[in-house]
Amino acid sequence: MFALLASLLLASQAHAQLVGGSGPSAPVLSATAATGSWAPAATAASPKPALDGTGRQLYINSANDFCLLMPPDPTTQNLVDAEADAVAYCINPMNGTRPMPDGFIVSAHFKKAAGYKQIIGQYNPAVMNLGSGASPDCGGEYDSYGAQGVGNPVGAAVTGAVDYQQFLGGCDIPGKYTFALRACTDENTHGALCDHTYDLMGMLYTQPSNYEDAGFDDCEVTDTTPLSVLPNGSTFRQGDSTTPLPSAYRQAPSSSNCVAKQSPAPSGVTYTWNQAAAQQTTGASSSSRGGSSGSSSRPAATSSGSSGSTGGAAAGAVPAAGLALGACAAAAMMGAMLL
Ligand SMILES: *[C@@H]1O[C@H](CO)[C@@H](O)[C@H](O)[C@H]1NC(C)=O
Ligand SMILES: *[C@@H]1O[C@H](CO)[C@@H](O)[C@H](O)[C@H]1NC(C)=O
């Protein structure tokens, strides 16, 4: 028991050191903006939401009403550093969570399936000091488990769900900053649909979806395929000797009954780490990193397993994507030490 504890402790110390150098470190603040006009409603229940709240209870209601886990201080921690202590930022904050800053959510698509609710979309990294064009924060995966089964970060949960997994970062699709949060709601299927053992594979493998679509909408999807099953019927486990190429990933399940939503109402919140860059960002997510060809030119899945390569994701057919995925995998690999 002690040996186990000690090795966990060592692993987490090594983790902290390694991870610090594995991705771009959180940049120091170069300019600050005043915090905005936001204040918690006088009627808000206790613990009230706050700009420095540490609540980790997330919810996913619709394309313009949800929460994401992010670092409590992104000037000192990148996304992977914050695996243990990320906090919830919510569009309608409550229960000690923080308000989502204005302009952070660029697009969002809510999906309701029989076994889960999910929100995916794009964000503006400058608003949360999460990297920029040349050095995106590749981010990583947060989930309900972690090394000690108590969550990564500890205690985070999604209201009404059994478990969840969140991916957020700027490398899954080169030049795009994307997020994916899926919360599984069914005791019988959560193990298959929120399988947390694919943290190195990124959101395009675990939560294939329409990441590049603009706007906001709520849709229904029919999706019962376990994360372990590839479209060709084979089972893949992270760590298997052959890692599927992106062309062999499951495709986005088709959406139905979509309802367009308004973008989130402005919150009046600007965190002090919102750099001057945030003011010039609207173009940032589309202008950088060798164009946006990445995922839209992904080859369609073929049922014959065309290449049979054992090279893994880093040998991907799209060079830019291969590089970025490699960087992500390296960062995520460090994260896996806490898995
Ligand atoms: C906030 O806390 C209350 C009281 O504990 C709880 O009933 C409610 O579900 C929480 N809301 C969310 C979105 O987690
Ligand atoms: C299915 O695809 C995977 C990944 O490309 C491959 O390793 C596996 O051999 C394929 N299975 C079949 C039955 O073609």
Model pTM score: 0.77
Q: Which residues does a 6 A CB cutoff place in the pocket of ligand 2?
A: 230, 232, 234, 242, 244, 248, 305
Residues with Cβ within 8 Å of residue 66, at least 6 apart in sequence = 58, 59, 60, 90, 91, 108, 110, 119, 181
Residue 216 amino acid letter: F
From 66, 91, 94, the mutation candidate for ligand 1 (largest count of ligand atoms within 8 A of CB) is 94
- Tokens coding 83: 């695996």
Helix (H) or strand (E) holding 272: none
| Ligand 1 pocket check for 118: Cβ under 6 Å | no
Helix (H), strand (E), coil (C) string for 136-159 = ECCCEEEECCCCCCCCECCCCEEC
**Per-residue pLDDT tens digits of the chain, which is 339 residues long:** 333 333 333 333 323 222 233 456 666 655 455 567 888 888 988 999 999 999 999 999 999 999 999 999 998 899 999 999 999 999 999 999 999 999 999 999 999 999 999 999 999 998 999 988 778 999 989 999 987 777 889 899 999 999 999 999 999 999 999 999 999 999 999 999 999 999 999 999 999 999 999 999 999 999 999 999 999 999 999 999 999 999 999 999 999 999 999 999 888 888 888 754 445 444 433 333 322 222 333 333 333 333 323 333 333 322 233 333 333 443 443 333 333
| φ/ψ of residue 334, rounded to 5 | -65, -40
Atom index in ligand 1 nearest the CA of residue 90 equals 13
Ligand nearest to the backbone CA of 241? 2
**In the chain, how many domains are there?**
1
d(Cα 281, Cα 162) in Å, to the nearest integer? 37
- What is residue 165's DSSP assignment? E
Neighbours of 46 (CB within 10 A): 6
Please give the residue range of the domain that contains residue 177. 2-336
What do you get for the CA distance between the two ends of the chain, in Å? Answer: 18
d(Cα 33, Cα 53) in Å, to the nearest integer? 19
CA of 57 to the centre of ligand 1 (A): 8
Q: Whose CA is nearest to atom 5 of ligand 2?
A: 244
Burial group, residue 190, by CB count within 10 angstroms (0-12, 13-18, 19+): buried
